[in-house]
Amino acid sequence: MKKTVSRNTKTYKQFQSLLPSLRVERGLGVSHLLKAILVLSVLAITACSNNHSGTISAFTPPPLNAPTPFRILSAAFKQGDTIPALYTCDSSNISPELHWNNPFTNTKSFALIVDDPDAPVGTWVHWVLYNIPVTDTTLQAHEPKDTMLTNGTRQGITSFGTAGYDGPCPPSGTHRYYFKIYALDEVLPYPAGLTKKQLLSVSKGHILAEAELMTYYKKR
């Protein structure tokens, strides 16, 4: 506390100079003295709280209007888990259930990209979707490979050369797989069949936020 007082010498000296006037004299009641001490104590604490390197600091609560984070989750696996074989080429190779939130007021649609940055030939794309309606924040497990889903969602072309989901199938070692959701401020005026590169190009300037979920897989 010595450091704090030394950085508030002026306030401390003012406090000392007022002490003689606080002595109980004939004309000063005890209640008035206590009130004066209370006021000076508050002033002293406030001075300490305002200094940037002292030992006493005021607590600043987070703003009530702090934004809600944009997130994507899965009922099948958590961030950093190994994705179950059911969603890979070692088994049924169906798409997992995914869900996300919409913390924005100006979202018009969502897009989703799933890729593997560890593929030996470069990033390998496993799923491309766009124009997911803003009212839908869930993709059910085992979505069909149709170029357009029943809710109007368009499916793009993956590195496999087809539309729809194809799961992890690393040739060797353990690879990372990123499920990336994008909130867009428009519905894209393009038909089904865009590649990942094309989708990101036409979405430029319209992406409000991005969230991702990463999982691992090693082929059996």
Q: Give the confidence band of 5 by pLDDT, cuts at 50, 70, 90.
A: very low
Sheet strands (E) in the chain: 72-74, 98-100, 109-116, 124-133, 138-139, 154-155, 174-184, 207-218
Minimal CA–CA distance to 163: which of 187, 127, 110?
A: 127
Tens of pLDDT, residue by residue over 172-206, are 999 999 999 999 999 999 999 999 999 999 999 99
Residue 13, pLDDT > 60, answer no
Residue 124, pLDDT > 70, answer yes
**In angstroms, what CA-CA distances link 87 with 90, 91, 199?**
8, 7, 24
Tens of pLDDT, residue by residue over 129-177, are 999 999 999 999 999 999 999 999 999 999 999 999 999 999 999 999 9
- What letter represents residue 164's amino acid? G
Residue 111, pLDDT > 90, answer yes
Tens of pLDDT, residue by residue over 52-102, are 444 444 556 656 666 789 999 999 999 999 999 999 999 999 999 999 999
Residue 38, pLDDT > 70, answer no
Residue 45, pLDDT > 60, answer no
What SS3 class is residue 128?
strand
Question: What is the model's pLDDT at position 22?
Answer: 45
* Structure-token pair, residue 90: 């070692």
Domain ranges of the chain: 2-49, 72-218
Residue 51, pLDDT > 50, answer no
- 103 and 68 Cβ atoms separated by less than 8 Å: yes
The correct answer on CATH 3.90.1570.10 for the domain covering 72-218 is no
Residue 49, pLDDT > 50, answer no
Question: What is the model's pLDDT at position 25?
Answer: 44
Question: What is the model's pLDDT at position 72?
Answer: 98
- What letter represents residue 119's amino acid? A
Question: What is the model's pLDDT at position 92?
Answer: 98
Question: Between these two residues, 47 and 181, which has the higher pLDDT value?
Answer: 181
What mean pLDDT is predicted for residues 95-122? 97
